[in-house]
Every structure is written in structure tokens, then in C-alpha cells.
Amino acid sequence: MRHRPETYRFGTFAGVFTPSILTILGVIMYMRLGWVVGQGGILGAVGIILLAHVISVTTGLSISSIATDKKIRVGGIYYVLSRSLGLPMGGAIGITIYIGTALGIALYIIGFCENFLGVEQITGLTGLMPGIGAYRLLGTITIVFLMILAWISTALVIRTQFMILGAIALSLISVFTGFFLNGGMTGSVSMAPMFSGASFEMVFAIFFPAVTGFTAGVAMSGDLKDPRRSIPMGTMAAIITGLIIYLALAIGFGYFVDRDLLLGDKNFLLRIAWFSPLVIAGVWGATLSSALGGILGAPRILQAMSQDRVTPTLFGKGAGRSNEPRNALLCTFLIAEAGILIGELDVVARIVTMFYIAAYGFINLAFALERWASADFRPSFKVSRWIGFAGFFTAFAVMFKLDTVAMVLAFVMMTGIYFFLRKKELRLDLGDVWMSVWNSIVRTSLHQMDIKGIEERNWRPNIILFSGSTFARPYLVELGKDIVGKHGFLSNFDLIENPEAEILFPKHEQSVIS
């Protein structure tokens, strides 16, 4: 696997924190958080934000711990999962992450189009009226421009993100200042949870993509100088910063902005801000930078999977000194364009949510299993395995509550991909965590049996047979198998004389299943 030259690699702030926070403070914050507060009330919105961050914080901690144990290379989350759960399962989940990331690009671009065409001067100048048709046209033009930018240079994209971060910071200052200066926008949002116009499940599904941004930094793992240090610091800093800002905005919207305005005007921030051009710059910067983050991250996931032969090797090829995944970039463009043609931000957001929650659940499971069972798992960033288990169960409980049918379909799809990859017999030289899991289960079971003792009703036959030769006395072996049935153990010893052989027969031939 090729790596990018050291001169092209980035540190914690540029490589992890900046792309992560730019994606977190993106389209949902500017275009849908006010609607979330209007639908759910202050406490309902705060509850949604905190629940979503339970999943993102546990997942961030899990990734951070794994990053300080394993050398995370190109592919980010996929690399972590495939090296822990094995290529078949890691590949099945990696494909869902890739599709979710690619569709996320469409989510951010549609949000940009909503705001862009929500400015009256622009609508009058272009003649385009807000609507699905206009979003499809403007979105296609936008994604082509961003793809060209990413095609030219990753470093160029990284440098532009610093200016965008400054624009977002200024826009937030303008919004918070506007809360106090625009006294006429007296808030009328109830403290109690409301959800009168939309269900809790629908509101949560639309909001959740707001907390998925930290994966943008992890996906850039192959471009980092020191992934073990940068990923934990940058990821957790971005998640905590995003949580504080979202809570502050939700409370501010509830206290200072009228509920009808929150529900009826998706561009209400332009009306309440101290200086609306700063908000416009922030919205455009946040949505376009989030799209760029997906454009940088998604092709690298596909490139890593292709280099492991999970997906066609065509997408594993890189170009130039920095090994840019240009073939994978073209595939990403097609998926993102399909999302743009949907044209509705809320629909795309709900699809992206299901992909990400499923992926995050398995990330937490991978960490929990590594922390519990793997003998060589020694991270410098130590987190309890119960954090991983909590994140896993929370993710799938939320999926079940949001859309049971979609959850079942997601599992069917991932199961199909898993068995397809398993049939291809893809393996890694380093192995995976499952042997450690089985060893830990057996060890725990034997320990429990030793403590409690064997009860008469739970007795199982355990036969030690010295047949001398399985082929010479096959009836002895068959008799032993008949006695133990499917509940006991039969240990047969053959006498094989071959002084010159280092290994008499491979390990998989040593076990006989009755």
C-alpha cells in the first residue's frame, strides 16, 4: 500500500480538527437546527442533541483508543474495522460507510443550494426559484466545481479550509450578537418537548448527520504525520466543541427567536443575525467545506477497500506523488450526483443517518471486542470497554426506534456483502479479533464451570481415545463419536512417525466435528 510523502502530511489541527469541525458545524446547524428547536421545544431539542452525542462521543472515544494501538492508514474507519473484525465484516461495513459519506456530499450541497437561492438578490439575478429542479441544476454545477478543486490538489483544499473556519467563527459571533441586539425577535418556544408537527424519530433522523463530522478527520488518516496522536486529540476536541456550540444555539433559538419563524423560514438566521453577510459567508463556507470533506474522505475509503480487493482494484490506483485516488473520486462523484438528483435535504439526511448509525454501532463493537479479548491491544489512550458496548447498544436501539424496516434492510444488505466477501476468502496476514474472542469465551466458560462444579443434569461425555491410527481402527473413532454425540468431546491420539517433518498435518485437519 502506497503512502503519501511526509511533506504532504498534516498535523492535528489541519488534518483532523479542522475538517471535522467544519463538517460538524455544517448544513444541519445552519439550515435545520432552528426547525429542530421549533418542533421539539428547548428540552426536546437539547435531548436530541445529547442523545446524538452519546453515539458520537462513544464512537469518538472508541476510534481514539484504537488509533493509539494500531497504525491507522488510508481508509480511516474502514481500515480500523477490517483490521479488527476481518476483511469480510470490515468490508461490508466499509461499503456502507463509503456510500453514507458519498451521499453526505449531496446533503451538504443541497443545503448550500437552499441557502444560496434563499437570498432574494441572487434569486432575482439568476432567475432560479427555490425548488427541487433548481437545487438539482445548481447542485450539479457545484459538485463539478468541487470535484475539480479536489482533483487538482488535496493540499489546496486543506488550505482553503482555514479561511472557511474563520468565516464560520465570524458567522457564529454575528448570530449570538443578534440574539441580544434584535429585541423584536422575542422567543415563544416552549421549554417542554412538543413534537406537534413531526415525530421525535423524524426530527432525530434529520438532525443526526450534524454529529457525524468527526469521521472526516479519521478518513484523512493516511495524510497525517502522526495518526496515533492527531486522531484522539483532534476528534474529541471537534466533538466537544460541536456539542457546546449546538447546545448554546438551541437554547438561544428557544429563548430569542419566535417559534413560527423557526418552523417557517429555513433562512431565519439572516433575519436575526447582527450582520447577515457574515452568516451567508458562514453557511456557504460550512456547507461547501463539508462537501469537500466528504470528497476528500470517501475516495480514500474506496481506495483502501480496493487495495484490499474488497472492491474492484481499479479504484485502488493512485495518481501523482501524493497517490491521489482519482478513479475512486469519479465513482464518488456518481453516487453524490445521484443524491443531488433526489433534491430534498430531509430525505437525504434520513438516508445518511441510517448508514452512519449502523457503521458507528459496529465501530463501538470492534473496540469493545478488542479491549475485552485481544491480548495485543495496548492503547495509550485507555477507554473502558463498556464505553464501546454502550455505544453499540445505543446505536442499534436508536436505529430500531427510528425505522425498523430500514434497519432490517441495512442488515440484509450488509449480511449479503459479508457472505459475498467471505466466499472470496479474503484474509489479512495479521488476522482479526475473532480468535481472541472465542478464546476469551472459552476461558470465561471454563472458569465459571470450575467455580460452580458439574451438576448431574449438565454432565457431558469427554472421551480420550488412543486409537493408534484413525485409519487402522476407524470403528473405534466412530464408536467414540457416537457416544459423545453433539454435546461431548472426543480427543483421539494417533501415532505418526516421521522424524523429518516439522509439521505432521495442518491445524484445520486436527479437529473432527461429529
Contacts of 180 (CB under 8 A, 6+ apart): 256
- Residue 230: name the closest of 10, 482, 460, 30 by CA: 10
The angle formed by the CA atoms of residues 451, 455 and 459, to the nearest 5 degrees, is 110
Q: Give the C-alpha separation, 13 to 220, whole Å.
A: 12
- Residue 209: name the closest of 242, 165, 169, 247 by CA: 242
Residue spans per domain, the chain: 6-423, 434-509
128-132 own/partner pairs: CB under 8 Å, 24+ apart: 132/343, 132/344
Please name every residue paired with 10 in a beta bridge, in sequence order, or none if there are none.
224
pLDDT of the residue at 7: 47
Write the class of the CATH domain 6-423. Answer: mainly alpha
Q: Give the C-alpha separation, 256 to 42, whole Å.
A: 11
- Residue 325: name the closest of 216, 428, 222 by CA: 222
Q: What is the per-residue burial (b if ≥16 Cβ within 10 Å, else e) of 431-464?
A: ebbeebbeebeeeeeeeeeeeeeeeeeeeeeeee
pLDDT of the residue at 308: 86
Percentage of residues in the chain having pLDDT higher than 90: 21
What radius of gyration, in Å, describes the C-alpha atoms of the chain? 27
pLDDT of the residue at 1: 44
Task: Please state, in angstroms and as integers, the Cα–Cα distance from residue 316 to each residue in 102, 301, 375, following that order.
Answer: 17, 10, 32
Contact between residue 22 and residue 165 where contact means Cβ atoms under 8 Å apart: yes
Take residue 135 and report the three cell numbers written for it. Answer: 437545487
Dihedral sign computed on CA atoms, order 379, 382, 384, 388? negative
Q: Give the C-alpha separation, 204 to 222, whole Å.
A: 32
Take residue 288 and report the three cell numbers written for it. Answer: 461547501
One pLDDT digit (tens) per residue for the chain, 514 residues: 444 454 457 788 887 888 788 888 888 899 899 999 989 888 999 999 999 999 999 999 998 888 777 666 767 778 877 877 778 888 888 888 888 889 989 999 998 998 888 888 888 887 788 888 899 999 999 999 888 877 776 666 666 778 888 999 999 999 999 988 875 555 566 666 667 778 888 899 889 988 987 876 666 666 678 877 888 899 999 999 999 999 999 999 988 888 888 888 888 888 889 998 999 999 998 888 788 878 888 888 899 899 888 888 888 887 777 677 888 989 999 999 999 999 888 888 888 888 888 888 888 988 888 888 777 788 888 899 999 999 999 998 998 888 787 778 777 888 888 888 878 766 665 656 667 677 777 777 777 777 776 677 677 788 888 877 777 788 888 888 888 887 788 888 877 777 676 666 655 555 555 4
